[in-house]
């Protein structure tokens, strides 16, 4: 198989297992191509001596499978690089929680032996697409986890007039608003009181950040809904975050959020599931009495 490798380029401790990974893939007679920024980081920071089959930049790559080495943040960046290439992604978790990154460093040998024997499954996850008018979002406008709108340059709340499929929902007076996929329901959305959603449930959650109202609660809508946001701010600008990639936009810019025309494919080990991860890694439902 041909693998492309992406990794965390900020923390050296999250890249220390790369030699083990490369040795495992080489022993099993696979080709490994590595992202140039990750290659340079590992060579300079860790001073490791290794040579992949090739080095690539930007979107100039093809592969049977992509490997993300790091935490869930690295996985999100990998997903943005894969885009609509239809390449399944396996996450090797060298971070903390590892909801998307499914394989621990201790499982590397077994996981890739299983993959080469076809003993794995692929989950398709829905993606959000952001469009802005008249000002454009300059970065990659697709989100696996969430699209967030947040206040900027002032401590005052922002007003977020929200429509779903052209119908007026409400105007949130809050520090921000999060539109999350089921994949993102255990990330930022969860931290502000949003619901946990099973990955294949076909829904989105709209959750306010610190709303100034006792009547505001998260609401769940179908994932084929079109959500429109118009924002007012005392500073006349606001922050938009797409899976952590943030930009400042001017007041008067209309945001439209809808389901993207492609999905992200997650490689999952047999026996691993969202429910198990939820219970084991997030201690969901744990009762020590």
- The catalytic site residues sit at 72
Pairing between β-strand 2-7 and β-strand 65-70 as defined by DSSP bridges: parallel
- Radius of gyration (C-alpha) of the chain in whole angstroms: 20
Residue 150, class by beta-carbon neighbours within 10 Å (0-12 exposed, 13-18 middle, 19+ buried)?
Answer: middle
Residue 102, class by beta-carbon neighbours within 10 Å (0-12 exposed, 13-18 middle, 19+ buried)?
Answer: buried
**β-pair partners for 124:** 265
Q: Give the helix ranges, DSSP H, for 42-158.
A: 72-82, 108-116
CA distance 147 to 240: 7
Neighbours of 128 (CB within 10 A): 25
CA distance 9 to 15: 8
CA distance 139 to 127: 16
**Distance set, CA 7 to CA 69, 163, 241 (Å):** 4, 38, 21
Specify whether the CB–CB gap between 84 and 262 falls below 8 A: yes
262: left (phi over 0), alpha (psi -120 to 50) or beta: beta
CA distance 68 to 113: 17
């Amino acid at each position: 198989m041909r693998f492309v490798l992406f990794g965390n380029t900020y923390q050296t401790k999250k890249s220390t297992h790369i030699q083990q990974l490369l040795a495992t893939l080489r022993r099993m007679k696979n080709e490994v191509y590595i992202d140039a920024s990750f290659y340079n980081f590992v060579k300079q920071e860790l001073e490791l001596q290794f040579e992949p089959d090739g080095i690539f930049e930007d979107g100039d790559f093809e592969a049977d499978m992509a490997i993300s080495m790091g935490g869930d943040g690295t996985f999100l960046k990998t997903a943005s690089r894969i885009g609509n290439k239809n390449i399944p992604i396996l996450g090797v978790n060298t971070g903390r929680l590892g909801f998307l990154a499914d394989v621990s460093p201790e499982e590397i040998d077994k996981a890739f032996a299983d993959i080469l024997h076809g003993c794995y499954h692929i989950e398709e996850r829905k993606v959000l697409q952001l469009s802005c008018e008249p000002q454009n979002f300059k970065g990659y406008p697709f989100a696996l986890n969430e699209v967030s709108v947040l206040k900027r340059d002032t401590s005052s709340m922002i007003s977020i007039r929200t429509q779903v499929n052209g119908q007026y929902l409400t105007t949130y007076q809050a520090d921000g608003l999060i539109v999350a996929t089921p994949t993102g329901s255990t990330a930022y959305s969860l931290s502000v009181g949003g619901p946990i959603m099973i990955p294949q449930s076909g829904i989105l959650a709209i959750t306010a950040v610190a709303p100034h109202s006792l009547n505001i609660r998260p609401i769940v809508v179908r994932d084929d809904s079109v959500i429109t946001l118009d924002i007012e701010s005392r500073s006349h600008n606001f922050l938009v975050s797409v899976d952590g990639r943030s930009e400042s936009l001017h007041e008067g810019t209309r945001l439209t959020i809808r389901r993207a025309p492609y999905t992200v494919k997650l490689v999952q080990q047999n026996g691993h599931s969202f429910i198990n991860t939820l219970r084991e890694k997030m201690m969901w439902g744990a009762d020590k009495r």
